[in-house]
Amino acid sequence: MFPRFQAAAVGAVRKIEPVMAIRVLLVDDNALFRDGVARILKSDGRFEVVGQASTGDEGVAAAAELKPDLVLLDLRMPGATAPETIGVLLAQRPDIPIGILTVFESDEFVQPALNAGARGYVPKDSTASELCEAAVALVDGKAAHLVPRKGVKGQGAAIDSLTARELEVLRALASGASYVTIARDLGISPKTLRNHISNTYHKLEIYDRAQAVIAAVRAGVVDVPDAHSQQAPSED
C-alpha cells in the first residue's frame, strides 16, 4: 500500500488515505527475467508481486488461489501456449487484466494472444519506468501495444562492438551459470570476469543480468530454448 493525499475543504484537516497496491502475478519460465521484473515492480511502490509461476498451468493455479489484480504472462513457455493459458484465466475471471511479456513482436506471435483476450503486450527490453507505466495502463483498461518501439542497443553495432571474450561472457550470463562457474570455465579470475561484465553492460547500455539475457536472445547470441531453460544462478 502507498499513501496518496486526498483533496480537502479549506481549513479541513487533510487525511492520507491508503491506496491498495496493484497485486501482480508473474508467469515466465525464465527465472532471471522473472526475478528482475519482480524487483522493478516492488521498487516502484505501486505494486505488490503476490506470486510467480514458470508455466501456464502453474500460473492458472496461482491466479485461482491468489486473485491478483494483474497477470503478466510470457508469450512463449513450455507446455500450454499463451493463448490457451489466457483462455483458462479469463474463464476463471473474465475481468482479469492480462499483459504479455515478449521478445517477439511480429503479428504472427503477438496477435493470437491478443485475440485470446490479452489486453496488450510489453516488450521485454522495456525500461523499468515503461514496464511500470504499462502495467498501470493494463489495469486501467488501456490496451494494445503499450511501449513505443525503439529497438535494443544489444543488437547490431553494439553487439559487434563486443570483444570475443565479452561475447563469451554474455553467452555465459544468459546460460544462468553462477559467476564462480563462469570464471572457472573461462579460465579467468572473478575480478577479471567482473571487469568483462562491466564493459559488456556499458557497451550494451544495460544494467543487470536479466537485461543481458534479453539482449543475448534478441541479438541471436543464444537460442531462445537455451535462454528459456535457465534457472536463477547462485552467485557463490
Q: Is residue 13 part of a domain?
A: no
211 located within any domain: yes
| Residue pLDDT, tens place only, 114-148 | 888 888 888 887 888 888 988 998 888 765 455 44
Neighbours of 59 (CB within 10 A): 29
What are the Cα distances from residue 168, in Å, to 22, 73, 161, 205? 39, 30, 13, 18
Please check whether residues 86 and 164 belong to one and the same domain.
no
Mean pLDDT by groups of 10 residues along the chain of 236 residues: 36 53 94 89 94 95 95 90 93 92 73 86 83 89 52 54 89 86 93 91 79 72 53 47
Q: Which domain holds residue 112?
A: 20-145
What pLDDT is recorded for position 3?
32
Statement to judge: residues 170 and 121 lie in one domain:
no
- How much is the pLDDT for 19? 64
Judge if 133 and 94 occupy the same domain.
Answer: yes
Q: Concatenate the DSSP letters of all residues of 15-66 into one string.
A: -EEEEPPEEEEEE-S-HHHHHHHHHHHHHHSSEEEEEEESSHHHHHHHHHHH
The neighbour count for residue 141, using CB atoms within 10 Å, is 9
Q: Is residue 8 in some structural domain?
A: no
Q: In this predicted structure, what is the pLDDT of residue 222?
A: 66
Domain count of the fold of the chain: 2
Residue-level pLDDT at 72 = 96
CA gyration radius for the chain?
Answer: 20
- What pLDDT, on a 0 to 100 scale, did the predictor assign at position 151? 39
Please state the pTM of the whole predicted model: 0.61
Q: Which residues of 78-96 are buried (b: 16+ CB within 10 A; e: fewer)?
A: eebebbebbebbeeeeeeb
pLDDT of residue 90: 93
| Residue 165 confidence (pLDDT) | 92
Domain boundary among 145, 177, 194: 145
**In residues, how long is the chain?**
236
Question: Tell me, what CATH number does 28's domain have?
Answer: 3.40.50.2300
